[in-house]
Chain A
Amino acid sequence: MTQNIIEFDGLGVRFGRHEILRDLHGKLAGRAIGLLGPNGAGKTTLIHTIMGFHPPTNGTARVLGLDIRTENRRLKSRIGYMPERDAFVAGMTAVRLVRLMAELSGLGPRAALERAHEALYYVGLGEARYRKLESYSLGMKQMAKLAQAIVASPSLIILDEPTNGLDPPHRERMLRLIKEIKKDGDVRVILSSHLLRDVEEVCDEVMILKDGRIASTCDLEEERRANRKFIEIETSGNDESFGAALEEMGCEIAVLSRNRIKTVLPTGVEIRDLYEIAAQREIQIRRLDFKRNSLQDIFLKAMGASSGGL
């Protein structure tokens, strides 16, 4: 049975009169969970609440089976956190900072030093590990933050906008590292980002926040499997009869425009069958694309559904 990573139980957070998170309910169990939402949706506040930086106003949540209100210290001993903003101690070299953080997580001085070197080599900062962090580029600082998050071997790594401000090569590297870390059987990842591509690339489950509420949750793996025969067809000719013929074959269809149809093929129906039907009705198939519901579709649908528009 898959262990739930996060279970929300009416979690709410309020700063003064502003309600940032409202009555969150639900469970997430993916190996890599994406937190999506527009700016101000409450992603970072949710992460801070999990980390114990802000106390919940209502309800609670359980992360890795531990209550964030009452077992926060135990929880933090199992989490590695990479903050969104710059976070380092002025005047320290990378290896010294990562070692300090490892020791504060409970590693002995010798093990901490060894792991600090390993973590920095792992993220690609091996040659720069004795440089002061102030002298690092933005990409290097992001990698150093990742190194301090993984140094003590956490069960859950929370990454808040890890690719923010990175150039394409650094972004690729960061995502590759996260995927590699995720492959390790013991590590789970929560990735907060407003970049849909990053989440789509790394995560297998997504929670979309809007105005402090859960607008949608989605098992990306399931979506990928379910939509493997989702096809977009552009035709020329008698489109209505073509659509009707597809429905007769048991296909689900959606007419996008006069010449464009979206369809999901049922088991047993192949692409060749579509061409045969088209030929019988003297319809030209101008374009045929295999598609699946992209995360962008899911995201936009969630945004629309919760606001009643779009």
Chain B
Amino acid sequence: MAVYERNYTGYDGELTDERSRFLVIPRFAIEEVFKSKLVLIFFALPVIGTLLVSILIYLPHNAAVLKLFQETSGGMAQEFFNYGTGFFRGWTIYPSMMLAFIMVFIVGPPLVSADLRNNGLALYMARPFSRWEYILGKLAVLVPLLAAVGWVPSMWLFVFQSYLAGMDWFKVNWRIGLAILVGQGLWVLFLSLISLAISAYVKWKPVARMAILAVLIIPMGAAPIINQLLDTKLGNVINMMNMMLTLSDGIMGLATPRGFPVGLAGFALLAAVGLALAVLSRKLRPYEVVG
């Protein structure tokens, strides 16, 4: 039927599988996300960073470069090219964590607030589509994006180093891979859910961004004050960045800051994930009943 004919006609074509309909959301959202130049820049940053660190990892495996470096550094090459937990913590895990945070700061709030600001959620929920499918759809936008700037480059660098350094290095340092897998995975999930929950709560993009900053940055300053005042180390549980690093350090077998228990750090992150889900469950409703 030509589009200019103004007749109401029924549709009797095939319908898509209900189980995969949540994937409609990321398909529409990703198009919107990449219209932003800022997102493109932040997407390019980890690619450039990963390339540079890959070169750094490759250098000691190139005989000519290694020889040149040994001659000029006066025997410091061995120490410089000792890629272990410290190297990966400083050059991959921490930068990836920050990049994922910046990415969620840019991409997260518009995803939900655009739907909630003008009661758009009622249109989603009026279809055979549940709140949990909606959340799954939004996670299907955020998780791959955050993983692409954090988890994937980190994992690539670990695999690349394992490949070049051989099985002996891998046997000693396999915990780095585990820390990236678990720690960064949990960080991506935490950031995604917390940004969705905050956006669902405040429903306004600029305020949601400020709130995300506040939730993650303010505790960095507040946690030491609580620790000092109460003479405890439990104040750290409100500092999610610290919890993430504690978890990663613990998995890698490093000493955690102030000897904070690794299990408690993991629990704090999971509790935050649970809290975010509870907020989403409460706030993602087509209509709020004010009683």
Contacts and interface: CB of A to CB of B under 8 A. Distances in A.
Interface in B66-116: 110, 113-115
Interface stretch (A110-118, A199-207, A266-274, A295-303): A110-118
B126 A96 contact: no
Given A48-B287, A51-B126, A53-B125, A90 B114 contact: yes
B257 interface: no
A186 B11 CA distance: 11
A108 interface: yes
B156 to A, nearest CB: 32
Given A87-B120, A91-B114, A73 B24 contact: no
B158 to A, nearest CB: 38
Interface of B: 1, 3-16, 18, 21, 24, 27-28, 32, 110, 113-115, 117-120, 122-130, 285-287, 289, 291
A219 interface: no
26 contacts: A48-B287, A51-B125, A51-B126, A54-B287, A76-B127, A76-B128, A83-B122, A83-B123, A86-B119, A87-B118, A88-B123, A89-B120, A90-B113, A90-B114, A90-B115, A92-B114, A101-B123, A101-B127, A103-B24, A105-B128, A115-B11, A117-B3, A121-B3, A122-B7, A153-B10, A181-B8
B291 A16 contact: yes
Interface in A149-174: 150, 152-153
A305 B211 CA distance: 54
Contacts of A88: 118-120, 123
A142 interface: no
- Which of under 10, 10 to 19, 20 to 34, or 35 or more describes the interface residues of A? 35 or more
A172 B125 CA distance: 29
Nearest to A53: B286
B125 A87 contact: no
Contact of B10 (A89, A100, A122, A186): A186
A148 interface: yes
B8 A150 contact: yes
Interface string A220-264: 000000000000000000000000000000000000000000000
Given A83-B119, A89-B115, A89-B118, A73 B13 contact: no
A186 to B, nearest CB: 6
A17 B286 CA distance: 21
Nearest to B17: A106
B126 A76 contact: yes
A292 to B, nearest CB: 30
**In the A-B complex, the 9 residue pairs with the closest CB atoms:** A106-B15, A153-B11, A81-B126, A16-B291, A89-B120, A90-B114, A117-B3, A77-B128, A153-B10
Contacts of B118: 86-90, 133
A104 B21 contact: yes
Contact of B6 (A18, A52, A53, A121): A121
Given A83-B122, A107-B15, A118-B9, 9 more contacts: A53-B286, A54-B287, A80-B126, A90-B114, A104-B124, A126-B3, A126-B4, A150-B8, A153-B9
